[in-house]
Amino acid sequence: MTHTENTFIAYARNILGITEEAAGRMAIKAIMKGGSDRCFYRLTMADGKSFLFMAYGRQQEENAYWADIATFLAELGIPVPAVYGHDPGLGFVLMEDLGDRDLWSYRHEPWEVRRDLYRKVLQRINPLHTFVEGFLSQGRGRAPANISPSLPRTMKGYDRDLYCWEHDYFLEQFVRDVCRINLTEREGAALREELAALTGRLLATGTALVHRDLQSQNIMICGDEPVFIDFQGLRRGSLFYDLGSLLCDAYVPLTEEDRDDLVRYAYELLTTDSGRAGLYDELAPPHLDWPSFNMCFLDGSAQRLMQALGAFGFLGLKKGKEAFMGHIPQGIENLCRMAAASGRLPRLLNLAEKCRKGVMLK
């Protein structure tokens, strides 16, 4: 056992109040998963009870927000891991061990099983997408004393600059570096004009709180219930970005019919929440009919897929995490489908189709 691992166990021992002898019999195992710069370890007691330990650095500002956001989400009634200890100075967090079964692990299960899980995910995340600070929840069980908790510190919300940054990330890390496609000045200008219009539409959908990485590998399944993780990037933005993350996930293919079923279910959840009467001007407008809601979903999905493909390229090529490259074909296929279905993103569709051909030839 390394000196560092001994330090982690000593911290857990102090938080849990266990004896030095019991700590000496504690096993520690690194968990290699994901694309973040955080380190995770499973600490297992002699009696089999286990905990998850997270050590985070200072390179990414959002890492320091994780514990406070976890408390906030729990107060909203959103299932997250229990936090037993947090030392912001050391960058240590001791939390509940949720096991290894995530939503992604169910990708080969019958659709009836998966559909119920996805519907539960949409139900459980709904209090985040419908959150209004200080709002009296009318006994809906969303927070103690029926009053919503105060929003903790989060990263800067989505604005034109952040959406534009994601476009550049996609064009540089994926289109240029993975697909080896260099746009002419004229092509680039025309595409950016189209993406600027996409940004405008997303900004017009209203402001909600979004997880920002609401995909299948960030949703653990405990029993038959979803529990959310990796929420440190939470911020204000378009809820359609989150819906696109979940229902147009590059990790898990969904049929068009199954995706439409879930998008409609999300629509029904968000437009029949009577507890939010009079608050829709701040969030997703209730006057959106189903076709308009679905068009917003296509926009949010296209935006999210560009970000995800950029991340796959960056993590695969720059960080040496080659497993992410394996998700590119599904991601680019999804982007082609969303851009085509939208009808408002012809230049993005043309580029995505070129990227698809380039990926298939490799």
Residue 79's CATH number: 3.30.200.20
- Range(s) of the domain holding residue 77: 3-96
Name the token pair of 75: 């107060």
Last residue of a domain, one of 96, 112, 134: 96
Cα dihedral 101, 105, 108, 114 sign: positive
Candidate from 20-24, 110-114, 294-298 with smallest mean pLDDT: 20-24
pLDDT tens-digit map of 177-225: 999 999 999 999 999 999 999 999 999 998 999 999 999 999 999 999 9
Examine the fold and report which residue of 68, 96, 124 is the final residue of a domain before the chain moves on: 96
pLDDT tens for 279-296 read: 444 445 556 899 999 999
Number of domains in the chain: 2
3-class DSSP assignment, residue 273:
coil
Same domain, 57 and 125: no
Confidence of residue 271 (pLDDT cuts 50, 70, 90): confident
Statement to judge: residues 91 and 128 lie in one domain: no
Is the separation of the CB atoms in 146 and 139 below 8 Å? yes
Q: String of b and e for 103-114 (b: at least 16 CB within 10 Å)?
A: beebeeeeeeeb
Query: Same structural domain for residues 25 and 170?
Result: no
What is the Cα–Cα distance from 66 to 64, expressed in whole angstroms? 6
- Does one domain contain both 152 and 60? no
pLDDT of residue 133: 76
- Domain end, chosen from 48, 67, 96, is at 96
Which tokens go with 2?
């390394």
pTM of the model as a whole? 0.92
| DSSP class per residue in 164-211 | HHHHHHIIIIIIITTT-----HHHHHHHHHHHHHHHHHHHTT--EEE-
Give me the phi and psi of 4, to 5 degrees please. Answer: -60, -45
CA distance 247 to 254: 8
- Give yes or no: residues 41 and 109 share one domain: no
Pairing of strands 225-228, 83-87: unpaired
